[in-house]
Structure 1
Amino acid sequence: MELIDRVRETRRRLAEDGPEWTRREHDFATVTLPERDCDRLRDLLIADRAETVVEVGLAYGSSALAIGEALVAGGGTPRHVIIDPFQRDAYHDVGWNLLTRAGLDRIAELIRRPSSEALPRLQAEGLVADAAFVDGSHRFHEVFVDLYYLRKIVKPGGLIVLDDDWAPSIRTAVRYFERNLGWTVLTGAFDGGTRVIEGAVTGEQMVRGSGTVTGNPRCRAIRLPDERFEPAFDDFRQFVE
């Protein structure tokens, strides 16, 4: 079986049957990135011709498999750098074992350290990524640090996708970079995916009488500016609403 077929089959089985082990009942449905959002993540990376992707947070592996599918489909010299300090102790290596079973361990590496330690090291080593997917800590200061270093690692014009955009801590962290460093939201990138309505995640598009879809997409895709720049010391725009 070709590698891409192995990846797709592993993705299909995970979506249909779930992982072989979970931390608690319903945890997979709560934690993992839904299949429809994984498909959109995959398509975005393929459209961007991404070859090197950094992922923060592995958990049960659904997003990692989608990223792996995109990298294999794109050809080139694929590299997938995954950061997750909790994969062994919290998830019994379920996500990493799935990637290995799919044959993606040949292009992927797992760094079992906090992202606040791993990302500075990767930046110091000179890693240049085409894109990143962020689904790690939801604490504001840790999301902010992730984005601070990913701005240095992801190439100019590259792509950063964040899960759980409904969380105020994540939205606030992203807003700083939008307002002060020229990051641009790709409107419509996750239309048709999972939406968040009144704080609850739903896999269905909720349609009102007007026929318009309500709720915000669970994921947000952001394009970095084409050139890196540092704002002047006194050039600061408020980002907390």
Structure 2
Amino acid sequence: MRRRLAAEGPPWTRDYERDFETVAMPEHDCDLLRDLLIAERAETVVEIGLAYASSALAIGEALVTTDPPRPRHVIIDPYQERAFGNVGWGLICDAGLDPITTLMPAWSSIALPQLVTDGLVADAAFVDGSHRFHEVFVDLYFLRKTVRPGGLVVLDDHWTPSVRTAVRYFELNLGWTALPDAFATGSTTPIGGDPQAEPVPRCRAFRLPDALTEPAFEDFHEFAADHERVYRHAGRVG
């Protein structure tokens, strides 16, 4: 199904030029995501954003490859029906992955707290929802409470300053550690989409600390400076 999707595209797309190529994650990046989750032997994965299901199929492939006792893939996407005509969900069903997959058609800011309340513990999460800073930050805040200690959070479109800045807080203040080799051979995009800026991997993976601990109130490391550095590197400041 993944090969067919990459070669032929989905059976339906929105009425935007090259919408599938623009929205969907490239096939090789999906391969790297699959391989990372297989190496992690992930059993439960939370995904934010379904769209045309390119990453969702890769996550499903990882789960059926490792064949854990209770595989579970929870996808959060409020736009799957009203914007994408359920085409991504249809591909999940066509691949036979629907028995292990749950689609939550709600905002992630609503769905993620519900998962926390329900006591869901995930081994990994893949984030490709809204790219607005405040919404990415909220996603990561709740995923920190959902993904087990030592688990993984993978972000798509890490080249965007909003996504880079949001995750930078968790790196500097909460001990998230980047895995630079995970997507080292993946596709790259200049920071901020500026052709003259530094090309960086499209996706980036982070490992959470081995324990969920809260820092002291006064133990705060500023992360706005990195945000300014990103923009300066992209030629947008100074």
| TM-score, scaled to structure 1 | 0.90
Shift of 1:215: 1.7
Residue number among 179, 184, 188 corresponding to 1:195 in the alignment: 188
- 1:187 Cα deviation from its structure 2 partner: 1.0
Aligned-partner residue type, residue 20 of structure 1: P
1:16 aligns with 2:16: no
Q: Is contact 2:53-2:89 (8 Å) kept?
A: yes
- Per-residue CA deviations over 1:50-72 (Å, capped at 9, x if unaligned) read 00000000000000000000000
Given the alignment, which residue of 151, 157, 160 partners 2:150? 157
Q: Do 2:191 and 2:200's aligned partners in 1 also have CA atoms closer than 8 Å? A: no
Please tell me whether the aligned partners of residues 29 and 203 of structure 2 are also in contact (alpha carbons under 8 angstroms). Answer: yes
Report percent identity of matched pairs. Answer: 67
In 1, Cα distance between the equivalents of 2:191 and 2:102? 37
Q: What do residues 117-136 of structure 1 show as CA deviations (whole Å, max 9, x unaligned)?
A: 00000000000000000000
Q: In 2, distance between residues paired with 1:102 and 1:85?
A: 22
The Cα shift of 1:197 comes to 2.7
2:42 to 43, 46, 50: 50
Say yes or no: does 1:220 pair with 2:187: no
Once residues 185 and 103 of structure 1 are traced to their aligned partners in structure 2, the CA distance between those partners, rounded to angstroms, is 33
Q: How big is each residue's C-alpha offset from its partner over 1:171-190, in whole Å with a ceiling of 9 and x where there is no partner?
A: 00000000000000001210
CA distance in 1, matches of 2:134, 2:192: 21
Query: Scaled by the length of structure 2, what TM-score is found?
Result: 0.91
1:148 counterpart (138, 141, 146)? 141
Say which SS state the counterpart of residue 221 (structure 1) adopts: strand
**Post-superposition offset of 1:25:** 2.1
Instruction: For 1:103 and 1:25, locate their aligned partners in 2 and report how far apart those are by CA, in whole Å.
Output: 30
CA distance in 2, matches of 1:161, 1:97: 24
Match of 2:123 among 122, 127, 130: 130
2:95 equivalent in structure 1 = 102
Match of 2:214 in 1: 230
Contact 2:154–2:205 (8 Å) recurs in 1 = yes
Counterpart selection for 2:17 from 19, 22, 25: 25
| In the alignment, structure 1 residue 179 sits paired with structure 2 residue 191 | no
* Local SS of the residue matching 2:211: coil
Between the aligned partners of 2:66 and 2:191, the Cα distance in structure 1 is 37
Secondary structure of 1:81's aligned partner:
strand
**Shift in Å at residue 195 of structure 1?**
0.4
Q: Secondary structure at the match of 2:65?
A: helix
Question: Which residue matches 2:28?
Answer: 36
Over 3 Å off, 4+ runs: 198-202
Deviations 1:23-73 (A, max 9, x none): 122010001000000000000000000000000000000000000000000
For structure 2, the 5+ residue unaligned runs are 226-238
Identify the residue that residue 84 of structure 1 maps to in structure 2: 77
Residues 195 and 201, structure 1, Cα contact 8 Å, conserved in 2:
no
- Contact 1:185/1:222 (<8 A) preserved: yes
Structure 1: tracts of 5 or more residues without a match: 1-9, 203-213
Root-mean-square deviation (Å) = 1.3
**In 2, Cα distance between equivalents of 1:21 and 1:82:** 20
8 A contact 2:160–2:193 mirrored in 1 = no
Give the structure 1 partner of residue 162 of structure 2.
169
- Is the Cα–Cα contact under 8 Å of residues 161 and 192 in structure 2 kept in the other structure? no
SS class of match (2:110): helix
